[in-house]
Structure 1
Amino acid sequence: MMKNRRVIMPKARKMLSDWNTPYIQSLMKLIETQSKATLAIWAVDYSEQVILPLWRKYYLNDVRPQNALNAAREWLSGIIKLPQAKSKILECHAAAREANGNPVAQAAARAIGQCTSTIHSARHCIGLAFYGALAVAYDRLGTDAPWEQIEQCAAEECGRMEAALRAVAVEDEPNPAKIDWKC
């Protein structure tokens, strides 16, 4: 007689983690050629267009990620100071923590939190790839899909992210951000 066994599914990963994949390396090389302002505008725009709808799919009435995006734009326009923007960004990070158990929404909020943090430190923009691409992949394929398929979908999304950055990139940027990736 066979006993009932509980099948434990692997826990969904919270982010991509391989800094050495060709799609991450290619994006990092392009990021290193751009100013912090260009990177922040790209990250905020992409987050608002692609990632925020993933959050809203599950938490339509929770506006903390949108507030963080708005605050980053206001900081970029000189309307508010960094401490005011930072409080909204920290609220977005709190929304991500509270979305534990929903891998799509959690990764989306983390991506938005990292992208809006680019106004403080340019290297935060890579969070768009590590969290945002995973949110997109989970949304399209589900968290039960084989990791190879999820990673392929995320790699394709990173390609779209890179194309979006190339579209706004300043050729021969005279003031590229100095980024220490710490990886």
Structure 2
Amino acid sequence: MPRLRKMLNDLNASYIKLLMRQIETQSKTTLANWAIDYSERIILPLWLKYCPDDLRPKFALDSARLWLNGKIQFQQAKKKILRCHEAAREAESNHVAHIAARAIAQSASTIHAARHCIGLALYGALAVAYDELGTEAPWERLEIRAEQECEHMLAALCEISVVDEPNPANIDWYY
């Protein structure tokens, strides 16, 4: 059985670099909305496919959105996001669910720090690839599918990007 990777880890891959460059042009709010929206649409259904009775990742996304809309305090959202990380740990026996929950937690965590949004790509694109191709698929095929998903993510971000954003997030990728 091939070694299962938990995330894409090549920040120098061209498809990751393109995404990072676009991320750097946007505000934390735009990035949080993008990551939450994409996770709700694409990644959360993966989690629910394998763990339909566990709504902690959904609650993390919901609470991040409530915080963005000024409806709850940050600490309330943070508790739900930490519970999503907990769900990921508990789902380690199901690789797709595990990394999908990691992607969701990172997406929701973008409300705290903009750089967390890259977790959507690093975990989420791989979750999509493993779900579609299986955990036995060769890495080369998985990476091609993950790259395609990152291209979809970039397109989704470009759709909502603010041209000449006056307050782009200041992101240190290599902290």
Q: TM-score, with normalisation over the residues of structure 1?
A: 0.94
In structure 1, the residue matched to 2:86 is 94
Establish whether residue 145 from structure 1 lines up as the match of residue 137 from structure 2: yes
For residue 173 of structure 2, give the secondary structure of its aligned residue in structure 1.
coil
Contact 2:27/2:169, CA 8 A, preserved across alignment: yes
Q: Which runs of 5+ in 1 are unaligned?
A: 1-8
In structure 2, the residue matched to 1:13 is 5
| Count of residues paired in the alignment | 175
Residue of structure 1 aligned with 2:155, choices 159, 163, 180: 163
Alignment RMSD, CA only? Answer: 0.7
In structure 1, the residue matched to 2:16 is 24
**Aligned partners of 1:107 and 1:158: how far apart in 2?**
15
**Aligned partners of 2:52 and 2:86: how far apart in 1?**
16
For residue 16 of structure 1, give the secondary structure of its aligned residue in structure 2.
coil
**Aligned partners of 1:23 and 1:81: how far apart in 2?**
35
**Aligned partners of 1:91 and 1:124: how far apart in 2?**
16
**Aligned partners of 1:59 and 1:11: how far apart in 2?**
23
Q: TM-score, with normalisation over the residues of structure 2?
A: 0.99
* Aligned-residue offset at 1:103: 1.1
Residue of structure 2 aligned with 1:48, choices 40, 48, 52: 40
**Aligned partners of 1:65 and 1:182: how far apart in 2?**
27
Q: Which runs of 5+ in 2 are unaligned?
A: none
Q: 2:117 corresponds to which letter in structure 1? A: C
Contact 2:2/2:138, CA 8 A, preserved across alignment: no
Please list the CA deviations of residues 79-109 of structure 1 after superposition, one character each: whole Å capped at 9, or x if unmatched: 0111100000000000000011211101100
- Percent identity of the aligned residues? 65
**Aligned partners of 1:31 and 1:60: how far apart in 2?**
31
In structure 2, the residue matched to 1:3 is none
Larger Rg, first or second structure (1 or 2): 1
* Aligned-residue offset at 1:11: 2.8
* Aligned-residue offset at 1:150: 0.1
Runs of 4+ in 1 over 6 A off after TM superposition: none
